[in-house]
Amino acid sequence: MDRRPIIFLDSGLGGFPYGYFFHSRNAREPLICVGDRANFPYGVKSRETLVEILDSVTDRFVPEYNPKLLALVCNTASVTGLDFLRKKYADLPIVGTVPAIKPAVTASRNRRVGVIGSERTVEDPLIRELADRYGSDCEIMTIAAPELIEFVQLHYGSSSPTERLDTVKKYVDTFRSSGVDSIVLGCTHFLLLQDEFRAAAGEGIGIFDSMEGVCRRVEFILNQDGGKLRAGADSAAVVPLAEVTGEAPLEPYWEQLSLRFGFTLERHS
């Protein structure tokens, strides 16, 4: 039985839906979702700068919490810093977030798949590599949407349902006009707009994300070697923790989302 926590790390709000989904299936596992609000956004930073940020952030949280597993629930952090962190923490299992290209390509009838995410994510060669691996005949159309990531991070809580749908619709319409019939949400922040993406897409376009795939990978590692990393079946359910970096006052919706997803919210300066 291993009662050490699992850390989910994201640049901000994107960790909430991933953490909630994992916790709903693994309520006995201690979980800490780190929202690195102090360094938001990740996607517009240079590779070198982001690696330095990830180095600094993990230097603070890994020694403090001694986690049994670290998950980068952030596409940008994963494509940029996963290899670096795995070398740095050779004894710590680390899971990255990979855009859900495989199911999107498999489902596409038009053989045109759209990927929306940060600049760093959609420009990474991994997108094309995954497409070639699972469907070399499939055309990939990418949209870098830093302004949509900012919308979620800064305005999600104060926006109306209509504003959210209108904000998403223009991206979906761009994909639709190009014949795309499968859209990959390549930023974890976009999971908070999943309903809006599905509503804007209608029945003709599939929406895909990596949330279940990431959580299944974490569960696979926990279950290895007879489940030696598991908290144990006799452990009581625990309330997950959300740690937010930075000293600036939090927008009210951080508390609202914490309550919605069942997290205890704490600041980490």
Q: Is 138 a catalytic residue?
A: no
Which residue out of 33, 74, 138, 215 is catalytically annotated?
74
Block residue for tokens 């997290």: 263
CA distance 97 to 14: 12
Q: What are phi and psi of 201, to 5 degrees?
A: -75, -35
Question: Under a CB-based contact definition with an 8 Å cutoff, are residues 122 and 145 in contact?
Answer: no
207 pairs with which residues across the strands? 183
CB count in 10 Å sphere of residue 160? 8
Q: Is 74 a catalytic residue?
A: yes
Beta strands in 118-197 (DSSP E): 139-144, 182-185
Q: Would you state the structure tokens that stand for residue 231, as one six-digit string?
A: 């908290």
CA distance 113 to 92: 34
Phi-psi region of 111 (alpha: psi -120 to 50; beta: other; left: phi over 0): left
The two counts, helices (H) then strands (E), for the chain are: 11, 10
| Amino acid in the structure at residue 248 | A
Largest CA distance in the chain: 53
Which residue out of 33, 138, 187, 215 is catalytically annotated?
187
Report how far apart the first and last C-alpha atoms of the chain are (Å, whole number). 32
From the centroid of its chain, how far is CA 31?
A: 15
Which residues are catalytically annotated? 74, 187
